[in-house]
Structure 1
Amino acid sequence: MTDIVTPAAIDSPTRRRFLQVGAAAGGGLLIGFGLTACSREDRNAKPPEAAVGHATTNVTGDAPALAQRAFIRIDRQGVVTLIVHKTEMGQGTYTSMPMLIAEELEVDLSQVKLEHAPADNSLYSDPLLGGQVTGGSTSIRGGWQPMREAGAAARIVLIGAAAQAWKVDAGECQARNGKVTHTATGRTMHYGELVDAAAKMDTPKTITLKKPDEFTVIGKSLKRLDSPEKVNGQAKFGIDVRLPNMLVATVAACPVPGGKLQAADEAKAMAVKGVRHVLKLDNAVAVVGDHMWAAKQGLAALDPTWSDGPNAAMTTATIVADMKTASNTAGVVARNDGDANKEAPKGGQRLEAVYEMPFLAHATMEPMNCTVDLRADGCDLWLGTQVPALAQGAAAKLTGLTNDQVKVHNHFIGGGFGRRLEVDMVTQAVAFAKQVKQPVKFVWTREEDIQHDMYRPYYYDRLSATIDDKGMPQSWSHRITGSSIMARFAPAAMKDGLDPDAVEGARDMPYKIPNVHVDYVRHEPPVPTAFWRGVGPTHNIWVVESFIDELAAASKQDPVAYRRELLDKSPRLRQVLNLAAEKANWGTPARAVEGHRVGRGVSAQFAFGSYIAQVIDVAVDPAGEVKVTRVVCAVDCGQLVNPDTVMAQIESGVVFGLTAALWNEITFDKGRVQQSNFGDYRMMRLNEAPRIEVVLAKSTDDPGGIGEPGTAATAPALTNAIFAATGQRIRKLPVSSAQLKTA
């Protein structure tokens, strides 16, 4: 695996939030605000029924110089610029986060402009992840309080500046639509007229935020700010970068993890028109040309050969066999309530099952790429990354430069899903760039991308449970075996060998069961693994919700009623379960499809701070092919910021989850990945997409995350529906049509 720089601590100590007011260079108003960090384990730990009211926050305290932390600028034309510490990769961050500012600042959303934050972990750390990271469905959750406070602080000092100019009490003035009005006389001043005076005002000592019933921006389905330039082609993704004197390269790495480059025919590559350089690393080669076509043709002519190394005989079967053996050993205890080894009570029974999830690629629409301009005195990187500061640190470490000498130019991302939380592309590109004296854009082909991804881990889970004579669960045991992403990505998050992400969704399952044991066996195959649109929940919720369904079936009880009975301590989850069941007409037969077996399945979850229930209808043909005909998803993600964005995120998450569960897996033979492109790692097509209905519950609780929950909820509802249709329980993904064929 590529050596990368990791966050110092994913659960860094809480830092005092601060606000400061000052002047912008060249005139105008600057508002600096801090971001409060908390541990990943606390991210779901809000009181389940806590309501948001009039939030009054003390914002005084010692803080670094304002110039170092200026997150909002207001210029003399009244234009508001937000320095966004998150990356836009299709999730709507560049609209929803400005909405938080616009709400409290009292400006129209169109007045807010955006700039990418520079790479800097100390200034732009995510409050829920402890680093400059876009991931974990944290953008709105982390920005909800501090961004509204910053907008409110700006409003307060602008009102104060107007009141001072008019020699009236600030309480006699109000802000609306980017201007301050003196209520008694009707006098008005636009923000742009007030910014210089406001920059000299004292920082507000207390700030009163709006109550939900006062919102005029938050809660509305507003048009996305990034859509126009994406539609008209002006939006710049990493792969779009063009620089003066820039060359283009494509690469090939050893197809077997741990292998090395053995030989390459440089003369043939250099004979291709437009090829300028052949670059070599221990385990990879790159051909550099005037354009991508020359580079690709040169790489084909280069025809590198490889020494496969210690993993030459690796297959999926050998990996799974090793995991099966490892799963027989007790793991690190994540939860231990009561005695989960108790015998089944009289009249009850014990159930056991093994569930398996495959390696998965991210297969982002924009393949991995990085443009590098490396000089003796500095290095510039152009790319789309979820971790700008990690990319900066990786390049600095490899070149011997300081972080200040490495500049990251971040761009829109054409699909992240956790893949661009990694910086392996950066380290490879910079290592190659050390051999070239001009800017080079390095681009992986789709085949290189899929065959050298950092994959969602393979998981091998053992479960057992007992039910009483009424079918109610009395004990539950869940052993999770898989690799640890956190041990590599954020080692400080590991406590006594326990990976908190690997057990998320299992340790904190919402059901009332008196005796529960959950443990984790860390087992590292020689395959690089990484986050994948959520890892712990997208794995564990499938396992938990599938096995709960098994208990309901063994008890001969309705799956919704069974869950409802076990959710008396989670009213918000029970509410969305009821809502999804109602909208999906649960209890009535699934719509008949001629020649098909039909069924309906359900799942319920609390993950990423949000409550979701999903109902899926399927039709299975005699050949075992599954058609998803309808998806109903009920969502309680707390206060809705932009409902349209929430619905879009759920819809995309459902399609992503269905695609993976129905068809996707990465397999190995002779050490090599067997899939290479969308022909054998397929995507859901338009004609295969089901009707998706998203039902949003009203709530005034603090927002939960929404980027990943839709994906996590999908696989269990799907496989439970397949069971309802066919009587076949799916315990290994992807779904096998051979298992579902009729005789």
Structure 2
Amino acid sequence: MDIATIRPSRRAFLAGTGLVIGVTLLAPNARAALIQGAKEGAEGQQADLNAFVRVAPDNTVTVLSKHIEFGQGPYTGLTTLVAEELDADWSQMRVAAAPANQELYKNLAFGLQGTGGSTSIANSYGQMRKAGATAKAMLVAAAAKDWNVSADEITVVKGRIRHEKSGKESGFGAFADKAAKTEPPKDVALKDPKNFTLIGQDRHKLDTDDKTDGKAVFTLDVLADDMLIAMVAHADHFGATVKAVDDSAARAIKGVVDVKPIPQGVAVFAEDTFTALKARAALKIDWDLSKAETRSSQQIVDDYRAEMKGKGLKAANKGDVDGALASEGITSLDTEIVFPFLAHAPMEPLDAVLIRAADGSIDCYNGSQFPGQDQKAIADICGVDPSKVRINMQLAGGSFGRRAQFGSPYMREAAAAFKASGMTRPVKHMWTREDDIRGGFYRPIYVHSIKGAVDKTGAIVGWDQKIAGQSIMGKDELDETTVEGASDMPYAIDNLRVVAYQTKLGVPVLWWRSVGHTHTAFAVETFLDRLLERAGKDPVEGRLALLKDSPRHLGVLKKVAEMADWGHAALPDGHQRGVAVHKSFNTYVAEIVEASLDDTGLPKVQKVWCAVDCGVAVNPNIIKAQMEGGIGYGLGAILFDAIDLTDGGAVVQSNFNDYRSLRITEMPHVEVAIIPSSEAPTGVGEPGVPPIGPAVANAWRRLTGRPVQRLPLSRDLVA
């Protein structure tokens, strides 16, 4: 039977440390993709050789990914690492999501199970290779014992176990059960990189085909018999609470099952999505604004400016900045740059399906970025032991940081709605696009104030930078995410000071794709470009001179200049170029853009050249795709995007009509070069974003003579 026809059913599967029973619920028209587990038609129980590697009787190998797949490629990357050391044939490889288990599947970069900070490959590189090598050693040991030969005489090539002398040969499946019963070796030798056959090769992503033809299963596709739809009415102001509610009109709508207040607002339960939407709109709610944030975006910026006149938290302080900026014969420059709130706006808004089993346990189906935290949130709200909560990981339609919330506030809302429903029927809790855009957890507003100076020789002699904005980590002391990319800038400037002002605000904030680098890279690279211009220096040559002590910055900058034929290529009339180079998440990226002006005066980016140094390139295809995606995502944001609060604190924007993404016709041609490296791999999901904004702004300044001092650029144009 096709697994997709089972709705609902119980399916047993092995996961890490033992047999786990889970509920598999799929939409009637959905087919289980290869990424969902075993190959179609495979028979027999799969054997777990370790927490990450599972072998089926038909020789297929399933890798359990501890990282969620929302387009950035860990399913394929982690599977490649295992397959390389296992010496498997790529055609036999499959991948499935690991279950929630904080200890077994923790991210080695930050100690709990989760995906973020461009760490999926970086933290898993050695771990997953070791898992593959260990599984191979166990299979070889089982074969050696069965064939009564020395393990040293056995070879494994493309998924076939061979003993040359006896002529015996087998696939993995024949020895999987026996291998699972053997003692894993304590130490296994990993391959010399010169012997890699899979790592470093372009490889088609395992999830692409099913996402392309609609077979992939997302949380929105998950259905259950007798399922309720839950939608929550939220206040227009952050921090507001329900004072009173009139739900009579909502309850009168056919298909409405119940209306219940919950801590996050008022939950409507209905038989279908349209009815839930209609009923929610019919609610009449009196909100208590006594503790709400009621300032407008402009008032917040003005308050930040006032706060920056006081004493801040020093993030960097070397040399004599005041003396350098006051010395004779210098040419000084100062600027202010204002960055707006930004929403993440992934294609799939937040959603989850919760079901209580007869034994009181709860199954949750969602694209969870931090499954252990979601598991705890459900347990806390619904009053069950965490061991009674199963997180069934789904593919997710993007995140960009949106799903990585401290304490799982979205899941707490979903669990609160589920509890309020009585937990007798399955509940799908859904947010609309409007809920997501207006739901907070934004990239914070930041205000930068920078002063700098060059002397008569053109040397940059002083740099003084102030940064005001909320602490994403909620700290009172210095939050590195406020200043990263500025306080540790690589440029050789003797007198440098960076000061942070960590403001308090009632708007919930969160990391946004590339976190602090979203604003610091822009501020540093655009201001540096202006200082180099004042000094009469070429933007590339000037940067190269300042990066003498940072060879990897130099490497990507030289490469991108070579790719673009910087300084030699003849530009069409009305075209200019801009450059930026930045390190984030230990990955080095340099980008050059060529742009003209469109009919509105905004830059039309014709082409982007990108050079990236991310250590060992596990899959160049994915690296290039992530650079391209980061460039498109970042370009749309710096051109068009801002979340504004009105006087009174309500959010203005609501959907893609007024919080727009880059259109396909606006996407430039992108050429990506990967620097060959033997360094350990680093992340690529975020580092393509920071350089695109300043590179475009630098080109636009050359086209118009105007520096960008307020984002998005469309707003600066009319300022």
* Distance of 1:540 and 1:402 partners within structure 2: 43
The aligned amino acid for 1:573 is H
Q: In terms of mean alpha carbon deviation, does 257-266 or 88-97 score higher? A: 257-266
Q: Are positions 1:261 and 2:242 aligned together?
A: yes
Alignment of 1:38-49 (within 5 A): none
Question: 1:384 is matched with which residue: 355, 367, 371?
Answer: 367
Q: Are positions 1:239 and 2:257 aligned together?
A: no
Q: What is the Cα deviation at residue 312 of structure 1? A: 6.3
Counterpart residue number, 2:11: none
- Kept in 2, the 8 Å contact 1:625–1:737? The answer is no
Question: 1:315 is matched with which residue: 291, 296, 304?
Answer: 296
Q: What is the Cα deviation at residue 581 of structure 1? A: 1.2
Q: What is the Cα deviation at residue 243 of structure 1? A: 0.8
Counterpart residue number, 2:174: 193
Q: Are positions 1:511 and 2:491 aligned together?
A: yes
Question: 3-state SS of the aligned residue for 1:635?
Answer: strand
Q: Are positions 1:138 and 2:119 aligned together?
A: yes
* Distance of 1:217 and 1:567 partners within structure 2: 34
Question: 2:565 is matched with which residue: 554, 578, 585?
Answer: 585
Q: What is the Cα deviation at residue 138 of structure 1? A: 0.5
Question: 1:394 is matched with which residue: 372, 377, 381?
Answer: 377
Question: 2:594 is matched with which residue: 604, 617, 627?
Answer: 617
Counterpart residue number, 1:636: 613
1:562-598 deviations in whole A, cap 9, x for unaligned? Answer: 00001111112111111111211211467436xxx43
How many percent of aligned residue pairs carry the same amino acid?
38
Question: 1:467 is matched with which residue: 441, 451, 454?
Answer: 454
TM-score (norm 2): 0.89
1:12-57 deviations in whole A, cap 9, x for unaligned? Answer: xxxxxxxxx999999775343xxxxxxxxxxxxxxxxxxxxxxxxx
Question: 3-state SS of the aligned residue for 1:208?
Answer: coil
Alignment of 1:83-102 (within 5 A): 83-102=64-83
Q: What is the Cα deviation at residue 326 of structure 1? A: 1.7
Question: 2:395 is matched with which residue: 412, 419, 424?
Answer: 412
- Kept in 1, the 8 Å contact 2:453–2:461? The answer is yes
Q: What is the Cα deviation at residue 622 of structure 1? A: 6.0
The aligned amino acid for 2:605 is V
- Kept in 1, the 8 Å contact 2:49–2:179? The answer is no
Question: 1:434 is matched with which residue: 419, 443, 450?
Answer: 419
Q: What is the Cα deviation at residue 647 of structure 1? A: 0.9
Counterpart residue number, 1:425: 410
Question: 1:250 is matched with which residue: 231, 245, 252?
Answer: 231
Question: 1:709 is matched with which residue: 687, 690, 694?
Answer: 687
- Kept in 1, the 8 Å contact 2:219–2:396? The answer is yes
Q: What is the Cα deviation at residue 79 of structure 1? A: 2.4
1:230-268 deviations in whole A, cap 9, x for unaligned? Answer: 223222111222111101122220110111224443221
Q: Are positions 1:443 and 2:425 aligned together?
A: no
Alignment of 1:56-455 (within 5 A): 70-311=51-292, 313-344=294-325, 345-374=327-356, 377-422=360-405, 423-437=408-422, 438-455=425-442
Q: What is the Cα deviation at residue 186 of structure 1? A: 3.8
- Kept in 2, the 8 Å contact 1:277–1:289? The answer is yes
Question: 3-state SS of the aligned residue for 1:198?
Answer: helix
* Distance of 1:320 and 1:475 partners within structure 2: 26
Q: What is the Cα deviation at residue 383 of structure 1? A: 1.4
Kindly report the root-mean-square deviation, in angstroms, between the aligned alpha carbons of the 2 structures. 2.3
Question: 3-state SS of the aligned residue for 1:720?
Answer: helix
* Distance of 2:216 and 2:571 partners within structure 1: 43
Tell me the number of residue pairs that the alignment of Structure 1 and Structure 2 aligns. Answer: 674
Counterpart residue number, 2:6: none
- Structure 1: runs of 5 or more not aligned: 1-20, 33-69, 488-493
The aligned amino acid for 1:527 is V
Question: 3-state SS of the aligned residue for 1:506?
Answer: coil
The aligned amino acid for 1:683 is S
- Kept in 1, the 8 Å contact 2:62–2:93? The answer is yes
Q: What is the Cα deviation at residue 129 of structure 1? A: 2.0
The aligned amino acid for 2:295 is M
Question: 1:550 is matched with which residue: 530, 534, 537?
Answer: 530
Q: Are positions 1:535 and 2:515 aligned together?
A: yes
1:687-737 deviations in whole A, cap 9, x for unaligned? Answer: 111111111222221111100011112111111111111111002210036
- Kept in 1, the 8 Å contact 2:602–2:717? The answer is no
Question: 3-state SS of the aligned residue for 1:83?
Answer: strand
Question: 3-state SS of the aligned residue for 1:454?
Answer: coil
* Distance of 2:353 and 2:504 partners within structure 1: 32
Question: 1:725 is matched with which residue: 699, 703, 714?
Answer: 703
Question: 1:497 is matched with which residue: 460, 474, 477?
Answer: 477
Alignment of 1:592-611 (within 5 A): 592=572, 597-611=574-588
Q: What is the Cα deviation at residue 313 of structure 1? A: 3.9
* Distance of 1:461 and 1:527 partners within structure 2: 19
* Distance of 1:535 and 1:471 partners within structure 2: 33
* Distance of 1:350 and 1:628 partners within structure 2: 31
Question: 3-state SS of the aligned residue for 2:322?
Answer: coil
1:417-470 deviations in whole A, cap 9, x for unaligned? Answer: 100012222111221222213222121121121111310011112222232222
- Kept in 1, the 8 Å contact 2:354–2:364? The answer is yes
Change (3 A) 1:598 1:554: same
